[in-house]
Structure 1
Amino acid sequence: MKNNNFLLKEIKDKMNKILYYYKNKMSQIRIGKANTEMLDDMTVEYYKKKVPLYHLSSIEVINSKTILIKPWEKNNLSLIEKSIIKSNIGIIPINNGKFIKLVIPSLTEERRKEIIKRNNLKLEKAKISLRNLRKDYKKKIMKEFSEKDLMEKSKKDVHEATKEYIYKIEKIFEKKNQEILPT
């Protein structure tokens, strides 16, 4: 039989994973400023395998609007360029034969609103994931504990943890939206 502290640690570990995933997805959103994190999930078809872009090149921010990608091997330039085009990040790579330059265009008002709509969907998905986790753990608590007081305390602890993580996710959401639509 598991105890309350073990269950609480277990659910918080899972909630941390949801929080990390959400934070990572939000950091990859292009907001008109150069940010290497937007390329973190990018892969390149390299010898019939998908390889992370950062394994094949250095990636650096030159200024607030420009990212420079320097492949370790020159013959990977075209592979990297194709991957960027396929990725649909909305940036056209500039290949000069030695490196690839990505110039981040400024966001239009329409594009900003579209991004915020997508952010709302991501926020809701993250909240739903947390609530589903809470629901699963409440069922687990019902099975694990026979003592009513311990069962109620465990349910309350899980509920409080869920509220805490929803709050953290909402803060990330608010911060990102302030970057996108500055007042």
Structure 2
Amino acid sequence: MKKEIKEKLKQILYYYKKTLSKIRIGKANTEMLDDITVEYYKNKVPLYHLSSIEVINSKTILIKPWENTNLSLIEKSIIKSNLGIIPINKGKFLKLGIPSLTEERRKEIIKRNNRKLEQAKISLRNIRKAYNKKIIKEFSEKDLIEKYKNDVHEATKDYIYKIEKIFENKNKEILKI
């Protein structure tokens, strides 16, 4: 059971890390494009299936479509994505210039990160609650129930700490000018 709960907690940690990695903080990062889909033959296809994406420097991302005919489709998708980045069409590739963040935007991102942190903590606590109910149903000995509940509590506490550390590091990165 301990392995099972840790696996669920790891999934939440992974999802949380992935969510924060997509946040634009004034530095080029290919993960910020992971959720962009392109309308391709009436299907939504992930951007990375239609092109190569590379970071040129800390402020520039280059997108080279496998087929040149997809360049305008990719450009439209990036504009629609609300990333706040306007692609520059260079004929055979797109160039994304990542603008620096304003102080106001940094504060807004930190507030959003705070909400994401709380959502992640709630998810972890919900797993703890579900496993505590499961423990009560499966076992009848009080000592055993308390031992397992304590194990679940410690595992949850450990993952809450890990998520808070990720949150703190991301906020330091955001506030760095």
- TM interval, short-chain normalised: over 0.9
CA separation in 2, counterparts of 1:131 and 1:169? Answer: 13
Aligned partner of 2:39 in structure 1 is: 45
Report the aligned-residue RMSD: 0.9
Query: What is the deviation of 1:94?
Result: 0.8
- Corresponding residue SS for 1:123: helix
Which segment drifts farther, 7-16 or 152-161? 7-16
- 2:76 alignment partner AA: K
Partner of 1:153: 147
Mapping 1:1-183, distance limit 5 Å: 7-182=1-176
Structure 1: how far apart are the matches of 2:63 and 2:102? 25
Aligned equivalents of 1:50, 1:151: Cα separation in 2: 48
Distance 2:99 2:176 in 1: 17
Where does residue 4 of structure 1 map in the other structure? Answer: none
Q: TM-score of the superposition, structure 2-length normalised?
A: 0.98
Which runs of 5 or more structure 1 residues have no equivalent in the other structure? 1-6
What is the SS of the residue equivalent to 2:54?
A: strand
Structure 2 counterpart SS, 1:44: strand
1:182 Cα offset (Å) = 2.3
CA distance in 2, matches of 1:141, 1:148: 10
Q: Given residue 10 of structure 1, which amino acid in structure 2 is its aligned partner? A: E
Kindly provide the CA deviation profile for residues 136-177 of structure 1, in whole angstroms up to 9, marking residues without a partner as x: 110011101111111110000000000000001001100100
Which TM-score applies when normalising by structure 1?
Answer: 0.95
